[in-house]
Structure 1
Amino acid sequence: MRVTFVSGEYPPDVGGVADYTYHLAHAVRGLGHEATVVTSGDARSNVDCVPVRRAPGWRLADVPSTARTIVDTRPDVVSFQYVPHMYGRGGVAAGAAALPWLLRRAGAPCVVSTMHEIASRWEARPRRTAAAFAHRAQAMLIAAASDRLVATNAAYARQLRRWTRGRRPVSEIPAGASILPARHGASGVATLRSSLGGDRQALVGEFSPFAVGKQPQALIALARQLGPVAQLVLIGGLRADDARRAAFERAAADAGVSDRITWTGQLSPSDVSRHLAALDLYVHTHIAGASPRSTTLVTALAHGLPIVAFDGPETGSSLRAAACLVPAGDVDALGRMAESMLEDPHARTEAGVRARDLHERGFRWDVIARTLMEALP
């Protein structure tokens, strides 16, 4: 089967959907299928075994040409990766919303849209309200024009089934790890731990802590609650995080915890893996909770880390069994759970084993690719 993956981002672009598309395309190819990527990112077609075609763009004026570029790859299936903010400023992306319909008109035999995000939250501010409305309208158009839909968590799957009233098959398929564990010598990890203060303190960290939906203010509260027994390590991130980072640093200074927080800045995938391997505990602060759509959370699972997170609206049953959860938004409870885990090495070891086992059962890329291909006609 020939599958063409469509994404606004692709490596060397840095981001969750870029990583998702890269790993899934390669995993599908590993199952014996043909995979091609169409993207507007800076990818080069000669970097590896998956061919890459350049998309003309995602504006309404561009997407007819983009649709023809996709159809020219002669796919049996088009796998469209959708996040509103990837295709338009503020997530207002009429061109991306029209793409599945244009693909069907251009002769694409099967369009499968993967909804990594559906819409921003409703907020009592005119611009945010308008954007939230636009996001929902776009998602409804995509759902109506696609042959099949993939939701990355149960909450999204329920929403899509309500909108389509059962007229479109909806499969719930989680995301995989954006960074897979790399091989690190024990001495190298020990040296890194020492440089981060791990020979004197416990190391508690989060990967890409300034991403959309993450709550870095919870990390400041956590640093205050844990006190000098722990050092917070903020791992990796994007250039777009700089504004949030500056505000975070001011708030950390005002709270008197700047010396308890280390930010690594952007790292190579190998260095991200090495820093994760150095942690004693992983904290996930996303407002949606421990969601199977979070590539950063699944990266922590893949590294076998004990995880403390919120039990939010997107938290599924498998993650409830693997992570140590507290009520959504309860930052004090997050701190108490982290304290409890740091005081109990045996509990951390058991939680790490549960995390790695869950990743092996349901979040490996070959498992995700096989589930996707089995869901296709």
Structure 2
Amino acid sequence: MHITFVSGSYRPDQDGVADYLANLRSHLSQRHAASTVLTTHDSALAVADPAVQGALAHWGLPQLLPLVQTILATPTDILHIQHAAGSYRFKRPVFLLPVLLRQAGYRRPIVTTAHEYGWWEWQPKWFPAGWLERVKEWGQKRTWWDREDGFLLTGSDAIITTNQNITGIMQERLPTLRDRMVTVPIAANLTVAPVDRAMARSQLRHERSWPQEAQVVAFFGFLHPVKGLTYLLQGFRQVRDRHPQARLLLIGGVETLSLNGQDAENFWQQVQTQIRDLHLTDFVHCTGYVEAETASRYLSGSDLGVLPFTPGISLKSGSLLAMLAHRLPTIATRTAETDAVLCDRRIIAPVVPRSGDAVAEAISTLLNNPAEQERLAAAGHEFVQAFTWEGITDRHCDIYQQLLER
């Protein structure tokens, strides 16, 4: 079997969707399923993978023609589009791709994975809002297009979502396509490296010149304004007053598709300035981007995990699943989704968003309660066993095979 993936970018070191795709391709290859990635020229040049091909310069409308030509010229069994708005630089022409391919004579199955949905409708100022709403609803009722993703979903033979909330919105908007929709939750974006935890703890503290009895609180993921780092640092300042041995480790780089160049540098400097202003220079360390094995070792050597995302945490967070897989008792901001899945089952220690005080209280409470740390670590590790790349790969292979048989 050969799968051709279309991806807005392919920079696993800067983009969560690209990292997801890299993991999926790796596991598919173990099932003897080869794959090609069609993406932008810049992305293809940045990775040393001959199976990653640059098919267009950018995601503007005129560039769809060379992409269609490349897809038609690429021998494949399945075309699989990976979509998240940010990975396409918030450009919408890709929503026309299925209909353009069909008009050009493409007859192979098309699959789309929607990594996000339900928040990004087209609302141009130059088009009267009332008329636009009528057009959206008129086409959606006939399943010609949907109000958010144009022809992307209605032109696909199978639609994969990464959480049930997205699936629910799609089913409400496109009820006649319910049988095409499959929810396949993501897995941890970091494999647990085989390392002795006691050794990992000792090495981490030695590398940082921290005392061996230091209590290390870890954040893991790209550093970004929506990750709540301002509130984490404010809260950790309070934690330091109560727990002199506490240390904070921020694991991850700042350069991403959504925050790059000078904007990324400015945010990095903003974080460093806040650390200095709070007199935390000797107690907080930012690793920058590190390789997966190093990041895993750091998580294994930490005591607590904290993810104070301002929009709240969700099961789309590979960072959350990675922390749980590493047996870290994890503090995270709550949402309606986490209340139903994680909080009620006491998988995480929930905090409200945008509150340094709440973060401080949650960290201090756990540092004072080793028994609760152990309980959370065990509960989280058990929970995350249902989210594996082997399971994800199984579901994809089943979907592909059903489409080919059909």
Please indicate the TM-score interval, normalised by the length of the shorter structure: 0.7 to 0.9
Structure 1 position 369 matched with structure 2 position 373: no
Q: How does 1:232-247 map to 2 (within 5 A)?
A: 232-239=248-255, 240=260, 241-247=264-270
SS at match of 1:81: strand
8 Å CA contact 1:308, 1:324 repeated in 2: yes
Residues 85 and 110 of structure 1: is their aligned pair in 2 closer, same or farther, counting only changes over 3 Å? same
Residue 70 of structure 1: aligned partner: 71
CA RMSD across the alignment: 2.9
Could you tell me how far apart the structure 1 residues matched to 2:340 and 2:27 are?
25
Could you tell me how far apart the structure 2 residues matched to 1:152 and 1:372 are?
12
Residues 166 and 215 of structure 1: is their aligned pair in 2 closer, same or farther, counting only changes over 3 Å? farther
Residue 172 of structure 1: aligned partner: 183
SS at match of 1:296: helix
Letter in 1 for 2:7: S
SS at match of 1:53: strand
Gapped runs of 5+ residues in structure 2?
134-145
Could you tell me how far apart the structure 1 residues matched to 2:266 and 2:118 are?
23
Structure 1 position 187 matched with structure 2 position 199: yes
Residue 152 of structure 1: aligned partner: 162
Q: How does 1:176-325 map to 2 (within 5 A)?
A: 176-184=187-195, 186-187=198-199, 189-196=201-208, 197=210, 199-211=212-224, 213-228=226-241, 229=243, 230-239=246-255, 240=260, 241-315=264-338, 317-320=340-343, 321=345, 322-325=347-350
How far residue 170 of structure 1 moved from its aligned partner, in angstroms, is 2.1
Residues 234 and 108 of structure 1: is their aligned pair in 2 closer, same or farther, counting only changes over 3 Å? farther
8 Å CA contact 1:232, 1:261 repeated in 2: yes
Residue 332 of structure 1: aligned partner: 357
Residues 4 and 213 of structure 1: is their aligned pair in 2 closer, same or farther, counting only changes over 3 Å? farther
Residue 138 of structure 2: aligned partner: none
Could you tell me how far apart the structure 2 residues matched to 1:109 and 1:227 are?
59
Q: How does 1:107-122 map to 2 (within 5 A)?
A: 107-118=106-117
Letter in 2 for 1:368: I
Could you tell me how far apart the structure 2 residues matched to 1:178 and 1:27 are?
13
Letter in 1 for 2:247: Q
Letter in 1 for 2:398: E
Letter in 2 for 1:234: L
Could you tell me how far apart the structure 2 residues matched to 1:374 and 1:316 are?
31
Identity of matched residues, %: 26
Could you tell me how far apart the structure 2 residues matched to 1:374 and 1:45 are?
26
Could you tell me how far apart the structure 2 residues matched to 1:188 and 1:13 are?
24
8 Å CA contact 1:174, 1:363 repeated in 2: yes
**Alpha-carbon displacement from aligned partner over 1:81-120 (angstroms, at most 9, x marks no partner):** 11112112xx2x0222222333333415222221223366
Could you tell me how far apart the structure 1 residues matched to 2:19 and 2:313 are?
19
> Scaled by the length of structure 2, what TM-score is found?
0.79
Extract structure 1 runs of 4+ deviating beyond 4 A.
119-122, 328-331
Residues 73 and 346 of structure 1: is their aligned pair in 2 closer, same or farther, counting only changes over 3 Å? farther
Bigger drift between 6-15 and 145-154 goes to: 6-15
Structure with higher Rg: it is 2
Structure 1 position 355 matched with structure 2 position 353: no
**Alpha-carbon displacement from aligned partner over 1:321-355 (angstroms, at most 9, x marks no partner):** 32222344454333322222111222222222222
**Alpha-carbon displacement from aligned partner over 1:117-136 (angstroms, at most 9, x marks no partner):** 336689xxx9xxx9xx9xx9
SS at match of 1:282: strand
Could you tell me how far apart the structure 1 residues matched to 2:120 and 2:382 are?
33
How far residue 189 of structure 1 moved from its aligned partner, in angstroms, is 4.1
Could you tell me how far apart the structure 1 residues matched to 2:67 and 2:13 are?
19
8 Å CA contact 2:9, 2:88 repeated in 1: no
SS at match of 2:56: coil
8 Å CA contact 2:231, 2:355 repeated in 1: no
SS at match of 1:3: strand
SS at match of 1:184: coil
8 Å CA contact 1:307, 1:323 repeated in 2: yes
Could you tell me how far apart the structure 2 residues matched to 1:70 and 1:316 are?
43
Residue 137 of structure 2: aligned partner: none
8 Å CA contact 2:228, 2:354 repeated in 1: no
Could you tell me how far apart the structure 2 residues matched to 1:144 and 1:248 are?
43
Could you tell me how far apart the structure 1 residues matched to 2:339 and 2:69 are?
38
Count of aligned positions? 359
Could you tell me how far apart the structure 1 residues matched to 2:366 and 2:92 are?
46
